[in-house]
Amino acid sequence: MNYQHCLQIAVGNAVCYSGFREGQRPGVLFPAYEQVKEDLLIIQEHWQYIRLYSCDNHALTVLDVIEKEKLPIKVILGAFIEAEINNPNCPWGGVYSQEKLSENQNQNLQEVQKLIQLANTYPEIIFAVSVGNEACVRWTDHLVPVDKVINYIEKVKSGVKQPVTFCENYVPWLDILEPLAEVVDFISIHTYPVWENKSIEESMEFTEQNYLSVAYKYPNKLVVITEAGWTTESNGFGIPRENVNQETQRIYYKALTNWSKKNNILTFVFEAFDEPWKGSNDPDEPEKHWGLFTVDRKPKLTMMATSYK
């Protein structure tokens, strides 16, 4: 399927990028310039677009490296907005003190302002911006009311020239995000068949169904996939161990990229590198192993098998 939209974004190979290594984590210790440079030199061999999640020190370093090293990489930059209301539906804790929620609101305003500033500072590198990530889905630990997200988006749209979006699981776009869909310049969805108990044999049909459910609902909006991937490890909680390994990741990645090219869909694969800081202390925690490269920057089977440049 090929819809024609007022907004056009050239389709290319795209990947989500979070460069935190062993001992590093957001808000505590960030990757250094040379570490980010090493990552981006790997990335440029396979992908033209990267997605960043927040306007933190990591994002500042990434943008600095791309500019100074003159790398041919374009960025969709996100503003990460924290919880503004409690969410008792979150399995791992989404309830906070009123003081913390008020603090988050102030931080969110600062984050949004920083997004505007960076978008205007790096207009040749940042091709789009996102105001929030998975902040409205029922299980999130950083729940923000839809009307507040709309307010943030309107603020950003008035301050930047780039198209503005909001990155969210495909499900909320089918109901509660209808008002938000009218405000964004394009819709960004996340789809994870392996998290929804799909086998590798069922994975692409499920991905396509997720995409089409949103695309058909909003035929006049460009729909981008800003997260889709396949982890290589599991401790059995949420994802059956037998469903994930480097071979199933390779199969899904190849099918996903081929389908995206055939249908002219911009798709950001999650994730460039493994992220050991995520999730529990269990080394087999799925959240730690979505990378197409290991944490020590070694290619997994997917990236050894072929280049998708």
- CATH number of the domain to which 43 belongs: 3.20.20.80
- Give the type of residue at 173: W
Strand pairing report for 267-269 and 14-16:
parallel
Is the Cβ–Cβ distance between 93 and 142 less than 8 Å? no
More confident residue, 267 or 8: 267
- Give the type of residue at 281: N
pLDDT band at 7 (very low <50, low <70, confident <90, very high): confident
Residue 215 has pLDDT above 90, yes or no: yes
Instruction: Confirm whether 2 is domain-assigned.
Output: no
Rounded CA-CA distance 297/97 in Å is 39
pLDDT band at 306 (very low <50, low <70, confident <90, very high): low
Rounded CA-CA distance 12/43 in Å is 13
How far, CA to CA in Å, does 280 sit from each of 213, 244, 286, 288, 299?
33, 18, 9, 9, 24
How far, CA to CA in Å, does 275 sit from each of 21, 42, 167, 231?
7, 16, 20, 11
Residues 6+ apart with CB under 8 A from 209: none
pLDDT band at 214 (very low <50, low <70, confident <90, very high): very high
Full domain range(s) for residue 191: 14-305
Give the per-residue pLDDT at 309.
44
Residue 5 has pLDDT above 70, yes or no: no
pLDDT band at 8 (very low <50, low <70, confident <90, very high): confident
Q: What's the whole-number mean pLDDT along residues 201-228?
A: 98
Residue 307 has pLDDT above 90, yes or no: no
Instruction: Confirm whether 7 is domain-assigned.
Output: no
pLDDT band at 255 (very low <50, low <70, confident <90, very high): very high
Is the Cβ–Cβ distance between 279 and 221 less than 8 Å? no
Tell me whether the omega of the peptide bond preceding residue 271 falls within 30 degrees of 0, making it cis: yes
- Look up the pTM and report it: 0.96
Instruction: Confirm whether 8 is domain-assigned.
Output: no
The predicted-structure confidence for 102-130, as pLDDT tens digits, reads as follows 999 999 999 999 999 999 999 999 999 99
Instruction: Confirm whether 4 is domain-assigned.
Output: no
Instruction: Confirm whether 228 is domain-assigned.
Output: yes
The predicted-structure confidence for 276-304, as pLDDT tens digits, reads as follows 999 889 999 999 999 999 999 999 999 99
Residue 308 has pLDDT above 60, yes or no: no
Instruction: Confirm whether 297 is domain-assigned.
Output: yes
The predicted-structure confidence for 164-208, as pLDDT tens digits, reads as follows 999 999 999 999 999 999 999 999 999 999 999 999 999 999 999
The predicted-structure confidence for 29-58, as pLDDT tens digits, reads as follows 999 999 999 999 999 999 999 999 999 999
Number of structural domains (the chain) is 1
